[in-house]
């Protein structure tokens, strides 16, 4: 069946270090992938997306890598800052209306 | 930058009362969604809405729930007779022609 899984429920990094958050997906027909972050008490916030015809996409301080062979996504955050502390999600894109199905997420804690 | 706005930010109600949560999606978006997040749990899909009708709903979205787009700007979620377990953050989201959903900051519902 379809599922969204995250390798690590928590990740703690030192300020200034790079962070890597991993995500596995099971639906090999997926052609669009999104990363969101959710800060405490706030709504999910779009970070970056990637389509299945790409294997890498860069944004400001963030890079998403897609490995379709092993159905794996990763989000790399360069020079992690305290403001990056949040729960990160790679929700499954499901349905013709673009419904997103969220997993538990990975909690990123940045130590000063 | 355009954003999804939700009101109220916090509502406290008695069990059995009706509640209406309001959302103003981004103006040129056509797809609308409601999600909820019980404290400490994951973000759960409730319903998607397109072309003035429900396009998909989850098993959570039972007969107690309804959605409406009463005019060209508002999108509402009504809970007919609230239960204790309806206490949660409710997030509205909207989407244009690209894949990402834009979420509001949420409405916290507390049922006593």
Cβ–Cβ of A34/B104 closer than 8 Å? Answer: no
Please say if the pLDDT value at position A8 is more than 60: no
Distance from CA of A8 to the nearest CA of B (A): 15
Asked if residue B20 has pLDDT above 80, the reply is yes
More confident site: A3 or A62 = A62
Whether omega before B8 lies within 30 degrees of 0, making that bond cis, reads yes
Measuring CA to CA, which residue among A82, A68, A75 is closest to residue A28? A68
Task: Report whether pLDDT(B2) > 90.
Answer: no
A98·B95 Cβ contact <8 A: yes
**CA-nearest residue of chain A to B50?**
A97
Lowest mean pLDDT among A28-32, B18-22, B79-83, B91-95: A28-32
Q: List the end-to-end C-alpha distance of chain A, in Å, as a whole number.
A: 41
Cα A70 to the center of its chain, rounded Å: 16
Substitution target from A9, A46, A88, A98 for chain B, most B beta carbons within 10 A:
A98
Does the structure show a pLDDT above 70 at A2? no
Q: Which of A109, A68, A72, A71 is nearest to A88 (CA)?
A: A109
The verdict on B100 touching A (C-beta cutoff 8 Å) is yes
DSSP state, residue A109: E
CB A82 within 8 A of CB A110: yes
Contact assignment for A34 to B100 by CB distance below 8 Å: yes
Structure tokens at A2: 């379809």
Rounded mean pLDDT, B7-24: 97
pLDDT mean across residues, chain B? 95
Q: Is B103 on the interface with A (CB under 8 A)?
A: yes
Query: Which residue from A12, A29, A21, A31 is spatially nearest to A85, judged by alpha carbons?
Result: A12
The per-residue pLDDT for A95 is 66
**Mind listing the pLDDT tens digit for each residue in B36-88?**
999 888 899 999 999 999 999 999 999 999 999 988 789 999 999 999 999 99
The answer to whether B33 touches B45, Cβ cutoff 8 Å, is: yes
Predicted local confidence at residue A30, as pLDDT? 85
Q: How many helices (H) and strands (E) does chain B have?
A: 0, 11
- Check the CA dihedral A26-A29-A35-A40 and report its sign: negative
pLDDT of residue A31: 87
Among partner residues A49, A97, A103, which is closest to B42 by beta-carbon distance? A103
The Cα of A30 is separated from the nearest Cα of chain B by a number of Å equal to 12
């Amino acid at each position: 069946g379809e599922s969204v899984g995250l390798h690590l429920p928590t990740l703690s990094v030192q300020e200034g270090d790079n962070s890597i958050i991993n995500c596995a997906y099971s639906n090999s027909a997926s052609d669009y992938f999104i990363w969101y972050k959710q800060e405490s008490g706030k709504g999910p916030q779009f970070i970056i997306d990637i389509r299945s015809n790409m294997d890498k996409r860069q944004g400001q301080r963030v890079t998403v890598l897609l490995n379709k062979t092993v159905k794996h996504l990763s989000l790399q955050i360069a020079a992690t800052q305290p403001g990056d502390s949040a729960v990160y999600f790679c929700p499954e894109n499901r349905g013709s209306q673009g419904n997103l199905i969220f997993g538990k997420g990975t909690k990123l804690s940045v130590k000063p | 930058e355009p954003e999804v706005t939700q009101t109220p930010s916090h509502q406290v109600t008695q069990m059995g009362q009706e509640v209406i949560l309001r959302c103003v999606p981004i103006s040129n978006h056509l797809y609308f969604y409601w999600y909820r997040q019980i404290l400490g749990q994951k973000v759960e899909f409730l319903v998607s809405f397109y072309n003035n009708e429900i396009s998909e709903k989850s098993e959570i979205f039972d007969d107690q729930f309804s959605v409406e787009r009463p005019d060209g700007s508002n999108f509402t979620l009504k809970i007919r007779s609230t239960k204790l377990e309806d206490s949660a953050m409710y997030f509205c989201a909207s989407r244009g022609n690209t894949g990402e959903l834009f979420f509001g900051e949420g409405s916290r519902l507390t049922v006593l």
